[in-house]
Amino acid sequence: MLDDAAREYLTAIKLNPTYTDAYINLGAVYINQGRFDDAAEVLKKAIAIKADDIEAHYNLGGIYETQGLLDNAIEEYKIISRQRPKFAEEHNNIGVELFRKGRLKEAERKYRVAIGLKPDMDQAHYNLGLALKKMGRLDEALKEFKETIRLKPDLERAYYNLGLIYKEKGLSKKAIESFQAALSLKSDYHDARKELEVLK
């Protein structure tokens, strides 16, 4: 079935070599077949014909993401974000859904793409911190929570999560300071108070 579709699109391209939709559709067929390099090649041809084609850039970005080439993916997505200013938020939101489903590595990729598109997006840094923490990558998570606090100093949850990591690393003094900071921002933060009582 897929091969028939591929043949159709190849014929369309032969008849009209500047028909971008045929390249994009052929790319989609190749993606479904797992032929990512072939798909990337035809999508690049579509982009050469129509430089601002959102679908071609989106699909090519998706291939790069699948291959773990996040920098390349971000470059493709940046082109889209010029036309769709909320594109970074879309990636962050997809990351949240993947995180909820326990697909942490995929969520991490989406958060990193969001940050690549919009480096000062505190929510994406925070969400990335949560995903990294859940995967046990504490030092990386620590870095993301610190960056969240730098961007949004009044986000009490970031201090709380910072405290949890310090506690896990046996750094009680820093953990206490973090939980106190969370409580100074939100006095009825029961989880932070509970952690503080355990440590004191």
27 with 43: CB under 8 angstroms?
A: yes
pTM: 0.79
- Summarised one tens digit per residue, pLDDT across range 96-125 is 999 999 999 999 999 999 999 999 999 999
Query: Domain limits of the chain?
Result: 1-83, 85-153, 155-200
CATH code assigned to 85-153 = 1.25.40.10
- Summarised one tens digit per residue, pLDDT across range 46-87 is 999 999 899 999 999 999 988 989 889 889 998 888 888 888
Residue 178: is it exposed, middle or buried by C-beta count within 10 angstroms (0-12/13-18/19+)? buried
- Summarised one tens digit per residue, pLDDT across range 145-177 is 999 999 999 999 999 999 999 999 999 999 999
* 85-153 and 1-83 share a CATH fold: yes
Query: Is residue 2 pLDDT above 80, yes or no?
Result: no
CATH code assigned to 1-83 = 1.25.40.10
Sequential DSSP letters for 13-53: HHH-TT-HHHHHHHHHHHHHTT-HHHHHHHHHHHHHHSTT-
